[in-house]
Amino acid sequence: MAESRGMFFKSAVVASYALMLAPVVMVIIISFFRQEIISFPPEGLTMQWYVNAWERREFARGFVTSLQVAAIATAIGVPLGTAAAYALARAKLPGREAISTLLLGPLAVPGVVAGTALYMFYLRAETWLDQDITATLSGLVAAHVLLTIPWTVRLVTASLQGMDRSAEEAAANLGARPPTVFMRVTLPMLRPGVVAAALFSFIQSFENLELTLLLVGPGRTTLPVAMLSYLEFRMDPTLAAVATVQILLVTAMMLITDRFVRLSRVI
């Protein structure tokens, strides 16, 4: 009885992993297929799609833009999000609930809706300020900070809630002023949460399509948008090749991060 229940759970776990990983594995396999129209069995294996992806400059440029945007948005969002999460968890602010909802809001709004709203707002702002915002790096970064802040607030808040306050109290008791307590004790204890927040913020920004779609312009396109545009007139495994590179990058980042903080303990 217990045995068969154990078997059942095991197969359920295996099945859900298979379901989650199947598309990823498919993408990687397809990127090596020779034929242009995806079909089984493969006519042969090739690296030509990787070469093609490299030769089409929009992918390389998109990759660089995505990296830039994700890095800057993470660098801005993580400190702000951490500070906000700390203030929300510890200070007796009036309207805490409201601020918290506001900060987490972008996660609840569909990306396309938020993207459209931002686009219209940017257009307004451009006429007021008489300055380009859409299709600029700062415009994109500003939009992506709307992803990195909520993700950081969410992960750091979770860390703060699970944290034992007594080490901070001990520091205060030993003569540390509140800012010193934060820098010397709270922040080091939050490190796994902050690192995880940085990783997830980066990935969310790097992979984002919906929010970004309307905010890019010619010559300033992120990788996901470049992939979508390519899909509009070609449908060969080049995209699978680009996606495979992305998958490798994200996996590598996760593995490296995991060496420093055990992600499974944070998330």
Partner 1 sequence: MSTLVLDRLRKRYDRTTAVERVDLTAKQGELVALLGPSGCGKTTTLRMVAGFIAPTDGRVLIGDRDVTQVPVHLRNTGMVFQAYALFQHMTVAQNVAFGLEMRRVERAEREKRVAEALRLVRLDHLADRMPRQLSGGQQQRVALARALVVNPAVFLLDEPLSNLDAKLRAEVRMEIRALQQRLGLTTLIVTHDQEEALTMADRLVVMERGRVRQIGTPEELYENPADVFVASFVGNCNLVAGTLERPGSFRTQSGTLLPCTSEAPAANDGLVLALRPERVTVTPGEGAPGDIRAQVTAVTYLGAQTEYHLDLNGTTLRASRSTPLHDDPLRRIAPGEKLTLSWDAASARLLPAETETGDET
**Between 184 and 234, whose beta carbon lies closer to partner 1?**
184
Among 85, 56, 52, 46, CA closest to 186: 85
* 176 contacts partner 1 (rule: CB under 8 A): yes
**Between 78 and 171, whose beta carbon lies closer to partner 1?**
171
* 179 contacts partner 1 (rule: CB under 8 A): no
Instruction: Determine the interface stretch with partner 1 among 33-41, 127-135, 141-149, 164-172 (rule: CB under 8 A).
Output: 164-172
Among 176, 13, 158, CA closest to 100: 158
* 167 contacts partner 1 (rule: CB under 8 A): yes
Half-sphere exposure of 264 (CA within 13 A, CB side): 2
Instruction: Determine the interface stretch with partner 1 among 23-31, 173-181, 198-206, 242-250 (rule: CB under 8 A).
Output: 173-181
**Between 125 and 261, whose beta carbon lies closer to partner 1?**
261
Cβ atoms 155, 265 nearer than 8 A: no
- Taking the mean position of all CA atoms in its chain, how far away is CA 133? 23
**Between 127 and 166, whose beta carbon lies closer to partner 1?**
166
Binding pattern for the stretch 180-219 against partner 1, x by CB under 8 A and - elsewhere: x---xx--xx-x----------------------------
Instruction: Determine the interface stretch with partner 1 among 145-153, 161-169, 212-220, 224-232 (rule: CB under 8 A).
Output: 161-169
* 93 contacts partner 1 (rule: CB under 8 A): no
Half-sphere exposure of 160 (CA within 13 A, CB side): 22
Spatial distance between the Cα atoms of 143 and 61, rounded to a whole number of angstroms = 19
Cβ atoms 147, 201 nearer than 8 A: yes
Residue with tokens 């609840």: 108
**Residue 225 neighbours by CB under 8 Å, 6+ apart:** 62, 209, 212, 213, 216
Binding residue for partner 1, selected from 127, 166, 218, 232, defined by CB under 8 A: 166
Identify the DSSP state of 91.
S
12: tokens are: 């359920």
Spatial distance between the Cα atoms of 19 and 23, rounded to a whole number of angstroms = 8
* 92 contacts partner 1 (rule: CB under 8 A): no
**Between 80 and 189, whose beta carbon lies closer to partner 1?**
189
| Binding residues with partner 1: total (CB under 8 A) | 19
Write out the residues near partner 1 by the rule CB under 8 A.
164, 166-167, 169-178, 180, 184-185, 188-189, 191
